[in-house]
């Protein structure tokens, strides 16, 4: 069963503040087969999908999908959120490097977990990592 392990918001930046006004949401689905999906927050019929070739290419393929949306819709802000256990969390530095190198005028925010608390049905216990 797939679960969303990372999200990327694509939108515009406020000229005076550190913020992202999101227009598109990218989701990294992981499970049996990883997939990136892109959704418009204004148009429910908009959907794009990319199937990464390998776990090692997941970050770069997500970055490419984000950059395609940035270019196509003339947007300038990205916020990346990767959860514990996400393939993207292990390679978020690579995603940032690709985006900053390719699109240096884009505002980029990387959110990585300081801590998490999730309930494992399989283990029937709360799993806590980091600082909460």
Q: Say what the pLDDT of residue 14 is.
A: 78
Fold for 3-130, please state it: Nucleotidyltransferase; domain 5 (3.30.420)
Extents of the domains making up the chain: 3-130
> What are the pLDDT digits (tens) for 76-85?
999 999 998 8
Confidence (pLDDT) at 1: 54
What's the start-to-end Cα distance of the chain, in Å?
28
Which residues lie across from 40 on neighbouring strands? 24
Coil, strand or helix: which one is 56? helix
What is the pTM for the complete model shown?
0.91
| Nearest residue to 106 via CA among 90, 95, 92, 121 | 95
3-state secondary structure of 67: helix
Write the pLDDT tens digit of every residue in 97-128: 999 999 888 899 999 999 999 998 999 999 99
Q: Which residue has the higher pLDDT, 91 or 17?
A: 91
Task: Report the pLDDT averaged over residues 11-34.
Answer: 90
């Amino acid at each position: 069963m797939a679960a969303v392990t990372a999200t990327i918001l694509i939108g515009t930046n406020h000229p005076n503040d550190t913020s992202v006004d999101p227009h598109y949401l990218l989701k990294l689905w992981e499970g049996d087969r990883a997939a990136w999906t892109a959704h418009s927050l204004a148009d429910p019929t908009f959907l794009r999908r990319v199937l990464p070739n390998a776990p090692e290419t997941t970050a770069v393929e997500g970055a490419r999908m984000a950059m395609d949306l940035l270019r196509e819709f003339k947007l300038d802000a990205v916020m990346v959120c990767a959860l514990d256990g996400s393939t993207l969390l292990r390679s978020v530095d690579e995603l940032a490097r690709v985006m900053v190198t390719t699109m240096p005028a884009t505002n980029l925010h990387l959110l990585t977990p300081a801590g998490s608390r999730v309930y494992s049905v399989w283990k029937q216990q709360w799993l806590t990592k980091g600082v909460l």
